[in-house]
Amino acid sequence: MGDHYMTQLGSAMAGIMFVWAIFRQWFPEELGEHIEKYFHKLVSYIYPYLQITFHEYQGDGFERSKAYVAIERYLSTNSSKRAKRLKANVVKDCQSVVLSMDDHEEVIDEFKGIKIWWASSKTVPQQRALFSYRDDDEKRFYKLTCHRKDRDIVTKVYLQHVLDEGENIAVKTRQRKLYTNSKSESEWGRNRRMWSHIVFEHPSTFDTLAMDPKKKKEILNDLRKFSKSKDYYKKVGKSWKRGYLLYGPPGTGKSSMIAAMANLLEYDIYDLELTSVKDNTDLRKLLIDTSSKSIIVIEDIDCSLDLTGQRKEKKGDGKKDEKDSIEKKAKGEKDKENKGSEVTLSGLLNFIDGLWSACGSERLIVFTTNYVEKLDPALIRRGRMDKHIELSYCCFESFKVLAKNYLDVESHELFATIGRLLEETNMTPADVAENLMPKSDEDNADSCLNNLIKSLEDAKEEARLKAIEDAKIKAEEEEEGKKSKENGEIVQESDAKVDDEGKKDDI
């Protein structure tokens, strides 16, 4: 049976039903029922199809039906190539165009050898409602038609497949967001949200990230494995999250790497500013308010809070703490707010892997720091920060990535010199990148590479001078140290003498 015939037959049947509905009133009740019964039998004999409709708005809902939206997405990616007439919707906050089937357009989908017809259509109400919530009162719907014999597979498998696919497409095309918790005073209203956000558009990717290719590969594999390991985490009884600690000197690409991670996995980013979190309770609220498929970032964790200091104090003497807390209470509420954050180390540890951290799933927690040795070991033990990644000064391999990205050169006679200089000097990828960037229209690869060589030589000279200076200072300090030590010994000796004398006196 041709597809065309199928639809025509369908509308012919609908026509007959319509005529029947008008004439029915003139038949005696019983006869009417009889005729209807046989008519339905006849219909199912010559029209062996099943139809399912999906309306855009269900009942009184003001929200578009989820199924309708999913079907729309599914059909627009799977059928927009086949449909002849398309409708373009500009999605408001997305600034992108979504193509979908135009009204009364039909497409055929195939699933496991089964043919499924989809039609988009609308009903226009006879009378326009006086007060309409939507500007147009047309009711749109999708109609699915399939063969009766495929009923089970269509209703049980195919529809689920369509909904899942629609969901997947939504995840892929959604706009990712960058959230932050720092806010101005005026926003402390009643309905304030814990996080405010902007659209996340950072161009950094793992391709543009300059680092040792082996290390990069390892991190990429780690991330990909994580994003696919839902069942594994469930099996081993861990909540589905992973901690990364990125450390290294400023300008080595820690922030860039976080952006690259978000771009790779298509996650949202929550940039947590610890200093504007009031206390541990607020920290927990923030955590609960995050969605899955996200990266929670705490940058420069060593600077955010004096975490190590607080802990030592607690271990120290209890009396002092008690006194402190009484003083705090006396100062009153207002002062507390001005004082900034009262988040403690244990609050933060709980944030990372306490019971509450299990809400939501598929999350990365990333800390960055310039001084890894300053952090409390409890904070960065495996299980909390599962993977420690050191980003360090630019090596030759990193340089090659930068040269390719910034200048489009993959090899050059100056590369050898640069490689040697990079081994002798420490220069961050940020500085190398800056030197490689053309500063005027006349700049080309040669001049940029020469610029870099010059900077590297300068840096080397500077480092040499600094080393000499440092050595000098150290020598002086040692000298002084020796002197004071000698003095100390003398003092001690004289003390001893006094002591002896004292004893003599006693005797």
Ligand X SMILES: Nc1ncnc2c1ncn2[C@@H]1O[C@H](COP(=O)(O)OP(=O)(O)OP(=O)(O)O)[C@@H](O)[C@H]1O
Binding site for ligand X (CB under 6 A): 208-211, 250-256, 370, 429-430, 433
Nearer to Mg ion, 73 or 254 (CB): 254
**144 contact, one of Mg ion, ligand X, none, CB 5-8 Å limit per kind:** none
Instruction: Compute, in degrees rounded to 10, the torsion defined by CA atoms 199, 204, 205, 210.
Output: -160
Task: Please say whether the beta carbons of 444 and 414 come within 8 A.
Answer: no
H or E stretch including 324?
Answer: helix 318-331
**250 contact, one of ligand X, Mg ion, none, CB 5-8 Å limit per kind:** ligand X
**211 contact, one of ligand X, Mg ion, none, CB 5-8 Å limit per kind:** ligand X
Alpha helices in 134-175 (DSSP H): 151-153, 159-173
User: Shortest distance, CB of residue 161 to ligand X, whole angstroms?
Assistant: 41
User: Shortest distance, CB of residue 297 to Mg ion, whole angstroms?
Assistant: 10
User: Shortest distance, CB of residue 218 to ligand X, whole angstroms?
Assistant: 15
Alpha helices in 266-306 (DSSP H): 280-288, 301-304
Nearer to Mg ion, 249 or 354 (CB): 249
**253 contact, one of Mg ion, ligand X, none, CB 5-8 Å limit per kind:** ligand X
Separation of alpha carbons 116 and 74, rounded Å: 13
User: Shortest distance, CB of residue 357 to ligand X, whole angstroms?
Assistant: 25
Q: Which residues pair with 53 in a beta bridge?
A: 143
Angle at CA of residue 227, ends 225 and 228, nearest 5°:
65
Task: Please say whether the beta carbons of 355 and 285 come within 8 A.
Answer: no
Task: Please say whether the beta carbons of 428 and 251 come within 8 A.
Answer: yes
User: Shortest distance, CB of residue 296 to Mg ion, whole angstroms?
Assistant: 15
Angle at CA of residue 373, ends 370 and 375, nearest 5°:
85
User: Shortest distance, CB of residue 215 to ligand X, whole angstroms?
Assistant: 11
Nearer to Mg ion, 83 or 178 (CB): 178
Interface residue with Mg ion, options 255, 263, 369, 428 (CB under 5 A)? 255
304 binds Mg ion (CB under 5 A): no
Nearer to ligand X, 211 or 296 (CB): 211
| Region of 59-67, 246-254, 259-267, 461-469 interacting with Mg ion (CB under 5 A) | 246-254
Nearer to ligand X, 347 or 429 (CB): 429
When CB distances to Mg ion are compared, the closest residue is: 255
Strand boundaries in 273-429, DSSP class E: 294-298, 363-369, 387-390
Nearer to ligand X, 100 or 256 (CB): 256
Nearer to Mg ion, 255 or 294 (CB): 255
**427 contact, one of Mg ion, ligand X, none, CB 5-8 Å limit per kind:** none
When CB distances to ligand X are compared, the closest residue is: 253
Please give the biggest Cα pair distance in the chain. 140
Kindly report each contact of residues 51-59 with a partner whose C-beta sits within 8 Å and lies 24 or more positions away, as own/partner.
51/10, 51/143, 51/144, 51/145, 52/143, 52/144, 52/155, 53/141, 53/142, 53/143, 53/144, 54/141, 54/142, 54/143, 54/144, 55/139, 55/140, 55/141, 56/139, 56/140, 56/141, 57/139
| Region of 84-92, 252-260, 356-364, 455-463 interacting with Mg ion (CB under 5 A) | 252-260
**430 contact, one of Mg ion, ligand X, none, CB 5-8 Å limit per kind:** ligand X
**243 contact, one of ligand X, Mg ion, none, CB 5-8 Å limit per kind:** none
Separation of alpha carbons 155 and 149, rounded Å: 11
Separation of alpha carbons 405 and 343, rounded Å: 42
Separation of alpha carbons 132 and 237, rounded Å: 51
User: Shortest distance, CB of residue 398 to ligand X, whole angstroms?
Assistant: 6
Nearer to Mg ion, 248 or 360 (CB): 248
Nearer to Mg ion, 259 or 422 (CB): 259
Separation of alpha carbons 448 and 405, rounded Å: 13
**210 contact, one of Mg ion, ligand X, none, CB 5-8 Å limit per kind:** ligand X
Calculate the CA 281 to chain-centre distance.
24
Site residues (vs Mg ion, CB under 5 A): 254-255
